[in-house]
Structure 1
Amino acid sequence: MHIHILGICGTFMGGLAALAREAGHRVTGCDSGVYPPMSDQLRALGIELIEGYGAEQLALKPDMFVIGNVVSRARLADGTPKFPLMEAILDAGAPYTSGPQWLAEQVLAGRHVLAVAGTHGKTTTTSMLAWVLEGAGLAPGFLVGGVPMNFGISARLGSLAGGQERPLFVIEADEYDTAFFDKRSKFVHYRPRTAVLNNLEFDHADIFD
């Protein structure tokens, strides 16, 4: 499968790209801010990065466009689309999905998902939990909203180990919205068997009441 990721240099979408590449998919992507650490990680994995959201990328004809939540249907002051590629995808009727939906269907299905949620400390706790499970010989998969120094990569698939019935997968369960066409929190898609809730405060007043 060839997937083209819009917003690929975000920490979540960059991790998703790494997982897709490890799974054997062809991965390309675009963003308006192609910079380290995610750009370095993606280029090291052989993922082609395109600067900007030009409509000409429709010609790549991927099997699926994966849309990050940075993308919207907003227009600039002169009335032109802020994300021309998204408008081209919609006009052409090309297949698209959100990052969390793709992850749930292509990676998390069949795995024991451990989701780390909360207002503060998700990235640190997710990294620590993955490292503890790694030290226990359980070879977890993970997706972290950063690049942990002890792993050197933000995401990996992991493997079945330690007598587990299904592979473990640790994920940073972000409460922010999924995409402009799916305003549910990302973690709604993950369906974890184990949940870690660090803390809970009102946050993201731009999308929550």
Structure 2
Amino acid sequence: MSQNIHFIAIGGAVMHNLALALQQKGFTVSGSDDEIYDPALSRLKAAGILPDEMGWNPDRIHENLDAVILGMHARKDNPELLKAQTLGLKIYSFPEYVYVQSKNKQRIVIAGSHGKTTITSIILHVLKYFNRKFDYLVGAQIEGFDLMVKLSDDAPTIIIEGDEYLSSALDKRSKFLSYHPHIALMSGIAWDHFNVFPNFDDYVKSFELLAEDIPKAGAFIYDESDDILKMIGAKEHADVAKLPYSAHPYTVKNGQVFLETAQGEVPLKIFGEHNMKNLMGAKLVLDRLAITDEMFYEAIRSFGGAAKRLQTEGENEYCKIYRDFAHAPSKVGATTAATKELFPDRELVACYELHTFSSLNKEFLPHYAEKLAAADQAVVFFSPHTLEMKKMPPLSADEIKQAFQREDLEVFTKQEDLLAFLKAQNWYKQNLLLMSSGTFDGLDFKTFAQEILSLPVEIPETEEPVKRKRKLSKLFSKRSKK
């Protein structure tokens, strides 16, 4: 049955995707926000549900609305929210509403401080590969899917990326506590969201509550290498299947990862030990959805990863440039190690932007100790303007070096200085890793990657004869063919 839904703060990544998904389902959708940026702006405009003007207008709220969905961006004193409360309308956070739409489905929730987007994306990729019917909610755009949210009437299962961040101004619980999963996977617990979880125990408590919410005959899947998850898994959960996992066995050959399986080696597009854990967790979920080992290994070959997760921005014969949505210390460490492991014979320049509230907090910074240890050259960037916007005290280069425990750490606060430093490097047998949940102050990653790759390289004299020999071999091969 069609419904009339209004979104307060419609411009968010998941919020605008949910709005588009409900419109596709035949619902009448409206929304508001004080700021909307692309891609949300263009997508909402194309769908005909972009607000006529930015800002909050209580006249948009009326008695004919079946529900109001409140985004985290909206405050308690939002004029549209206040009117909705006065009219007695049903008000939901987006996770609460997703639950309402999936009450009669098998609900699978993927949670954890890191890896949840990739795990969710792997599951969606494999299910789509075999033309299964399913609904989903994922935190990033992934190849082969138009939207980040799908809610249908006939799909028996929904796969949900479960975020531990707060639900809305009215609901201070972690988002994933609204979903009530039949199967829950936890990829790891590393303290994050320092602004809303001021101590580690509060942060862990949300994950404990999620595990306790799994019903009888449900399943709890978790990374057994995580000490906190091992403790949660050891607790009594009546009639709940507990399925710990570790990294899938793999080998690396010439910059290519291969899974070691009973059927032989399976080539992959993704890499890193953390992704081998993500892959194994996804495999256990899919096993409960009747995806056999053979089916899984067939489908996983073509999985290219989620957007901004170890995404290749460009490459040539000497250099490869990666971008990653690293937002927490654990992710920075895992991503840096994975990139170095793939090309051990190349130098690695790892560049990380301090962008989140947690990463810019002086008390939290020590959690980054040695997280860039795998890099041959480590670089940190932050914008003083971001600190001002977040009303946080200034940071010094010495404080950051001490936190990361690298005296040779290069620290930059201006984009032009950072780019000049990177362009001055010799990109011969050297890879670049750019990590941030932001944009390095508006950097066009693709354009910059091409600028780096077009720079001349200096080849050490000891290697020049080898290079000339390689060229002669190619020439001889061509002549032979003629």
Q: Highest Rg: 1 or 2?
A: 2
After superposition, what is the alpha-carbon deviation per residue over 1:105-147, rounded to whole angstroms, capped at 9, x for unaligned? Answer: 1x21111222111112322322221111111221321111222
Determine the C-alpha separation between the residues in 2 that align with 1:140 and 1:44. 26
Paired with 1:167 and 1:48, the residues of 2 have a C-alpha distance of 31
Change (3 A) 1:123 1:33: farther
How many residue pairs get matched?
195
Q: Which residue matches 2:69?
A: 66
> What is the TM-score of this pair, normalised by structure 1?
0.82
Whether the 8 Å CA contact 1:18–1:156 is kept in 2: the answer is no
Question: How high is the sequence identity, in percent, across the aligned residues?
Answer: 30
Equivalent residue number for residue 44 of structure 1: 46
Letter matched to residue 144 of structure 1:
V
- AA at the equivalent of 1:41: R
User: Which of the pair is proportionally richer in helix?
Assistant: 2
2:172 is equivalent to residue 183 of structure 1: yes
One-letter amino acid matched to 1:137? N
CA distance in 2, matches of 1:108, 1:88: 28
Name the residue aligned to 1:171.
Answer: 160
What is the CA distance between 1:18 and its match in structure 2?
Answer: 2.5
* Residue 96 (structure 2) aligns with: 101
State the alpha-carbon separation in 2 of the partners of residues 191 and 92 from structure 1: 29
2:30 equivalent to 1:28: yes
For residues 38 and 123 of structure 1, the distance between their equivalents in structure 2, rounded to whole angstroms, comes to 19
Q: Secondary structure at the match of 1:120?
A: coil
Alignment match, 2:405: none
Runs of 4+ aligned residues of structure 1 deviating over 6 Å after TM superposition are: none
1:184 aligns to what SS in structure 2? Answer: coil
Structure 2 gap segments, 5+ residues each: 200-482
Give RMSD over aligned pairs: 2.2
Q: Check whether the contact 1:142–1:156 (CA below 8 A) recurs between aligned residues.
A: yes
The AA in structure 2 aligned to 1:120 is H
Structure 1 residue 159, shift from structure 2 partner: 7.1
Distance 1:66 1:144 in 2: 18
Alpha-carbon distance in 2 for matches of 1:158, 1:129: 18
Distance in 2 (CA, whole Å) between partners of 1:18 and 1:29 is 11
User: How much has 1:201 moved relative to structure 2?
Assistant: 0.9
Question: If the length of structure 2 is used for normalisation, what is the TM-score?
Answer: 0.38
Report 1 or 2 for greater relative contact order, CA contacts < 8 Å, sequence distance ≥ 6. Answer: 1
Give CA deviations for 1:20-65 in whole Å, capped at 9, x if unaligned. 2222210111112222112333333343435222223225842221
Aligned 8 A contact 2:63 2:87 in 1: no
Deviation at 1:10, TM superposition (A): 0.9
Q: Which residue of 2 aligns with 1:86?
A: 81
Asked if structure 2 preserves the Cα contact closer than 8 Å seen for 1:139 and 1:158, the reply is no
Cα distance in 2 for partners of 1:190, 1:169 equals 10
Q: Does the Cα contact within 8 Å between 2:21 and 2:147 map onto a contact in 1? A: no
Inter-partner Cα distance in structure 1 for 2:194 and 2:140:
23
Q: Which amino acid aligns with 1:157?
A: L
